[in-house]
Amino acid sequence: AKIQVDNAEFRATGKRIDFPGFFRAYVEGSDDPDAALDNQEVLLPPLRVGDSVDCQNLDAIGHETQPPARYTEASLVKMLEKEGIGRPSTYASIIGTLVKRNYAQLNNNTMIPTFLAFAVTGLLEDYFPDLVDPGFTAKMERTLDDIAAGDVDWLPYLQTFFLGDKGLDTQIKQQKTQIDPDQARTVMLEGLDVPIRVGMYGAYLEVERDGQKVKASIPEKLTPADFDQEQVEVLIRQKLEGPRVVGIHSKTQEPIYALTGRFGPYLQLGEKTEENKKPKTASLMSGMDIDTITLEQAEQLLAIPRLLGEHPELGGPIYARRGRGGPYVAHVRGEDDEETRSLKKEDNVLTVGLERALELLAIPKKSRRRKAATPLRELGSHPADGKPVGIYDGPYGHYIKHGKTNVSVPEGETVESVTMEMAVELLEAKAGPVKSKAKGTGKAKKTTKAKSSATKSSTTKSSTAKSKTTKSKTTKSKTTKSKTTKSKTTKAKAGTTKASATKSSTKTSTKTSASKAESSTATGDNGLEAVESTSKIAATKAVKAKATKSGSKSGSKTSRASTSAKAS
């Protein structure tokens, strides 16, 4: 029943059982089955349209709806499987592409779309809708499966996909002139009256204040889901007011500015000038606030890398530095020779001293490589290739190892009872017979042949030269004979040249054919890469759809949310 009170509508819901069915079976074991059955009903008083109702009590109960949860890596893979997009071998690559190209950020295993994802998805939906259609991509995946199975020829399919009447190349040429670059890189979010542009160096705001355009960078860690009008005003105000001067550096007497850039808040020593195009900068450490940072903290941050002193035994300076992997100390032993150690949680890069640095450098560096297993018993060299054969201990028991081939020791056999003959039989049963070591190589034969040809050529030339010398010493009476001989020699040389040219032509033809074959293969590979890239683009459109539903609790912030990849 619906009850209207002014502008509010109240509802009352009741339930009456007409046919008990299985409810009767459920209450048969109770003391009073009929009473238990009556408890299943919620009866409403007889009401008619237009009746007035007296309010005896009113309780205000708050209830908030939650937006759908964002995709995680696992839930995205589950959705891809449901839509028929991608395969188990490509799921990791798809997710990796989304993060690598900054279409999504991972926060506690949750995938959050970025401003770049919004812009790319909007462009693809407006001009290339087929590429982000899950049905199109799923059909392509099935065709690729048929190609892998040998049921479909790959080259005609890729030619149609890329060069056909509705192929990718044709679509790009048709739409290229229709795309407005400014519109394509503009993102409009619900609740914001300011356009957001996506440029080469990230997202930024572009507004007009007092007759001039103002551009303010949006920090990379700030995503569309967390962006609101208040943050817009803060960024614009900071841009108009200019950077805050923390103070004057005690040594250089230059001002220290507190700025906010693409990668978050940072400090800058001095101003950018023609002589000083890249002034020294330093990012803030965890727990520091750009609005409350002190001059002392700023000077400490700008002092990094900080010289701690000289190594007392080995010589060379020791520095405290900050890197992508966190703070660390470094002992510089030469131009390209450094020994580094990461600082522990209890250490502070701003205050760590030489003594503590020496303690850390004295700790042996842990190798990232896994140590090679030690054999329990060495059986000796394999009779075919001479490589060692040994028995090792593994998580599933003892096994025999030869090169990259492993085979379990049969039941009933021990480490001591296994012989070389038994090991060879087991290895051959698993991997086939081992090829014997070749005594010579094709390369050596080729070299020998080349030398032989060179010797032969040299001998022939020497003989010809000798013949010419002899003939030049003949008398005038033998002039005719000499001319004839010279003519023959000329013909012989011409024949030799012709033969060489023929051989060279044959080699060139062979190389050309090989080049064509390689070119064809490369074309096929590029086509497959294009198909895979398209698959990734369409696959991630679902992230965009779900991100659109998510937004903030107050409501959706955008009509488009995406983690779509580029169509290339």
Q: Is the predicted pLDDT of residue 497 greater than 80, yes or no?
A: no
Judged by DSSP in three states, 275 sits in coil
- Give the pLDDT score at 472: 39
Quickly list H helices, 264-341: 295-302
Q: Residue 18: what pLDDT?
A: 74
- Before 305, cis peptide (omega within 30)? yes
Angle at 227 between CA 221 and CA 228, to 5 degrees: 155
- Among residues 484, 398, 386, 369, the alpha carbon closest in space to that of 436 is found at 386
The confidence score (pLDDT) of residue 370 equals 61
- Work out whether strand 110-113 and strand 397-402 pair parallel, antiparallel, or are unpaired: unpaired
- Would you place residue 312 in the very low, low, confident or very high pLDDT band (cuts 50, 70, 90)? very high
**Confidence band for 439, pLDDT divided at 50, 70 and 90:** low
What is the amino acid identity at position 560? R
Phi and psi angles of residue 351, each rounded to the nearest 5 degrees, phi first: -125, -5
User: How many CA atoms does the CB half-sphere of 66 hold within 13 Å?
Assistant: 3
For residue range 40-53, what is the model confidence (pLDDT) as tens digits?
Answer: 677 677 777 888 87
3-class DSSP assignment, residue 46: coil
Residue type at position 343 = L
Average of per-residue pLDDT across 52-64: 81
Q: Please check the confidence at residue 447 and state whether its pLDDT lies above 60.
A: no
DSSP state of 395: T
SS3 for 295-307, per residue? HHHHHHHHCCCEE
Q: Is the pLDDT of residue 17 over 50?
A: yes
Count other C-beta atoms under 10 Å from residue 40's C-beta: 13
* C-beta separation of 243 from 257 below 8 A: yes
Q: Percent helix, strand, coil in the chain (nearest 5)? A: 40, 20, 40
In this predicted model, what pLDDT tens digit does every residue of 459-482 receive, in sequence order? 444 444 344 443 434 334 343 344
| Listed range (162-166, 190-194, 343-347, 364-368) with the worst mean pLDDT | 364-368
Residues 342-395: tens digit of each pLDDT: 999 899 999 999 999 999 999 888 765 566 678 999 999 999 899 999 999 988
Global pTM reads 0.49
- % of the chain surpassing 70 pLDDT: 72
C-alpha to C-alpha distance for 171 and 131, rounded to whole angstroms: 11
Of 3.60.21.10, 1.10.760.10, 2.40.37.10, 1.10.460.10, which CATH number belongs to 69-275+538-568?
1.10.460.10
- Reported confidence tier of residue 103, pLDDT bands at 50, 70, 90: very high
Residue whose structure tokens are 């488009």: 560
pLDDT at 522 over 60: no
Residue-wise DSSP of 361-374: HHSPPPPSSPPPPP
Range in 204-213, 395-404, 501-510 the model is least confident about: 501-510
Angle at 155 between CA 151 and CA 156, to 5 degrees: 85
Rounded-to-integer distance, Cα 164 and Cα 143, Å: 16
User: In the prediction, which pLDDT does 412 show?
Assistant: 87
Q: Decide which of 97 and 438 is more confident.
A: 97
What does the pLDDT read at residue 269? 92
Q: Which range in 125-129, 238-242, 368-372 is most confidently predicted, on average pLDDT?
A: 125-129
Residue 77 has pLDDT above 60, yes or no: yes
In the predicted model, is pLDDT for residue 534 greater than 80?
no
Cα angle: 194, vertex 198, 199; to 5 degrees: 130
pLDDT of 488 > 50? The answer is no
What is the C-alpha separation between 184 and 162, in angstroms, rounded? 23
Average pLDDT value over all residues in the chain: 76
Q: Is 92 helix (H, G, I), strand (E, B) or coil?
A: helix
Please check whether residue 332 is in contact with residue 319, taking contact to mean a CB–CB distance below 8 angstroms: yes
- pLDDT at residue 256 in the model: 92
Give the per-residue pLDDT at 475. 37
Each domain of the chain, given as residue ranges in start order, spans: 2-38, 69-275+538-568, 276-362, 385-431
Burial per residue of 389-415, b for 16 or more beta-carbon CB atoms within 10 angstroms, e otherwise: bbbbeeeeebbbbbeebebebeeebee
Query: Does the pLDDT value for residue 203 go beyond 80?
Result: yes
